[in-house]
Amino acid sequence: MEVGFIGLGAIGHPIAKRLAEQHRLTVWNRTVERAQAFADETGATVAASPKEVGTGAEVVLACLPNSPEVEAVLAGTNGDGLAEGLEPGALVIDLTSGIPSSSKRIAEDLAAKQVAYLDAPVSGGTSGAAAGTLTVMVGGSDEAFARALPILQVFGKRIEHVGPVGAGHALKAVHNSLIALHLFGLGEALTTLAKAGVTPRKALDVINASNGKSFVSERLIPERVLTREWPRTFRLALLDKDVGIARDLMADVGVEAPVLGLVSKLLHEAALTLGDEADHVEVLRIHERRAGVELSG
Ligand code: NDP
């Protein structure tokens, strides 16, 4: 298939790399050097503009920080936007973890050009993208979902059609707010236990053999914090954005969310303290500093 891809960031890059192995891929990235390096690596074609990605493409995937960036790339400047190039019958798959109300607006605008749209955010991290084992949560019509499935299967293992346009973004934001909740809960739990004489390794061994465990306790903290490796795979700024989307969604639908409200506030403060490039797991550094302990071992 003629496939376009926009946004070769931390997770976009490994997804696009898998697509390049099976389809004719044309890419565009804001920083053109990244697109060129990707093309040198994979044989993909570099487009001069988002419009050029759309021209002749059957499917275009976007993987950008948030929905405003997707809307800006669709609109472009001086007629070079993706929407300008898309032809009737094309399909846009938005892998961005974005905003449900924005995705509904985008879908309506594209429908006027007879272009289909799915919100299809992913979970499973950069390693899951490279391995083709991502979870994909899709919002949109049955017909568009059926068309997208062979493309999503190139990088996804569990692919769920979760509802109409916007449903994928809603689920992704709420899911990521649970990760944030676990990061804060475990930061408090493990620093408390360290000061009470239980080593972080011993505490996690017991928690992970019991019912309080989570992905954060089983994988993220043992592999990244206890080892002091702190790899940067998913920026804290992006998790902050996701939790903000979940908080706004809860307000929109009229659900009171005091716990998430507090997590959102703390996470935003952490993002400001740790900076734009910090990884989401580095939230634990704040707990370490505050308690005066190191969660290693
Ligand atoms: P990165 O910050 O690594 O990459 C962002 C990408 O978007 C880059 O290609 C960047 O281009 C491009 N970009 C940023 N701003 C603009 C703009 N204004 N106009 C055009 N392009 C722009 O993010 P990730 O790849 O980590 O994340 C992408 C999406 O996937 C986010 O929604 C994130 O929440 C989600 N996600 C990320 C996961 C992860 O593990 N990293 C896991 C699951 C979901 P440039 O090269 O020029 O900076």
Nearest atom in ligand 1 to the alpha carbon of residue 68 is: 18
96: buried, middle or exposed (CB in 10 Å: 19+, 13-18, 0-12)? buried
Does the beta carbon of 235 lie inside 6 Å of ligand 1?
yes
Q: What is the pLDDT of residue 291?
A: 98
Amino acid identity of residue 25, one-letter, is L
Q: Is 42 helix (H, G, I), strand (E, B) or coil?
A: helix
Does the beta carbon of 8 lie inside 6 Å of ligand 1?
yes
Residues paired with residue 159 on neighbouring β-strands, in sequence order: 136
Choice among 17, 51, 172, 241 that is catalytic: 172
Bridging pattern class, strands 122-123 and 134-139: antiparallel
Q: Is 98 helix (H, G, I), strand (E, B) or coil?
A: coil
Does the beta carbon of 64 lie inside 6 Å of ligand 1?
yes
Largest CA-CA distance found in the chain, in angstroms, rounded: 65
From first to last of the 297 residues of the chain, give the pLDDT tens digit: 999 999 999 999 999 999 999 999 999 999 999 999 999 999 999 999 999 999 999 999 999 999 999 999 999 999 999 999 999 999 999 999 999 999 999 999 999 999 999 999 999 999 999 999 999 999 999 999 999 999 999 999 999 999 999 999 999 999 999 999 999 999 999 999 999 999 999 999 999 999 999 999 999 999 999 999 999 999 999 999 999 999 999 999 999 999 999 999 999 999 999 999 999 999 999 999 999 999 999
Interhelix angle 258-274/236-253, nearest 10 degrees: 150
Q: What is the pLDDT of residue 184?
A: 98
pLDDT digits (tens, 9 = 90+) for 32-73: 999 999 999 999 999 999 999 999 999 999 999 999 999 999
Q: How far apart, in whole angstroms, are the C-alpha atoms of residue 151 and residue 247?
A: 31
DSSP annotation string for 43-94: -PEEPSSHHHHHTT-SEEEE--SSHHHHHHHHH-STT-SHHHH--TT-EEEE
Query: Is residue 195 flagged as an active site residue?
Result: no
